[in-house]
Amino acid sequence: MSDQELTELIQKVSQEYFGKPFIHRAMFNSRLRTTGGRFHLNDRHIDINLRIYQEFGNQALIGVIKHELCHYHLYNDGLPAQHKDRSFKVLLKQVGGLRYSPIQSTVKSKTYHVYECSKCHTIYRRVKK
């Protein structure tokens, strides 16, 4: 899927679920690691993690698009658009968007190395070897 096709999909989802147009651009961003997408306030474009589409399919992609469109439309209407805000939570539930990215569950947790002092036997946990 190209960036143009992604923008067209977002425009279609925006009209179908929100009844409002999406007039900015959208693109895949392969640098995103743990988040499904990002709405940029300065120029109002949307980045979507390419792994969402590749690894989780079209349904997860549409769920992430709905999530980002909630930020987009609330911000454009001058309403609170953060994750903690009630207006965001209510709108997200109405349109059936994903609350959390499916990528977060696949991210590895940190590995800790355990060291013990040979004299006092104190245990030290470190991330770096």
Residue 24 scores a pLDDT above 90? yes
Taking CA atoms, 101 is separated from 26, 62, 67, in Å, by 18, 12, 10
Q: Are strands 26-28 and 46-48 parallel, antiparallel or unpaired?
A: parallel
When pLDDT is cut at 50, 70 and 90, the band that residue 96 belongs to is: very high
Q: Among 30, 101, 6, 31, which residue's Cα sits nearest to residue 63?
A: 101
When pLDDT is cut at 50, 70 and 90, the band that residue 102 belongs to is: confident
Residue 110 scores a pLDDT above 90? no
Mean pLDDT throughout 65-87?
A: 92
108 DSSP assignment: P
Crossing angle of helices 57-76 and 86-95, in 10° steps, is 140
Residue 93 scores a pLDDT above 90? yes
Kindly list the catalytic residues: 68
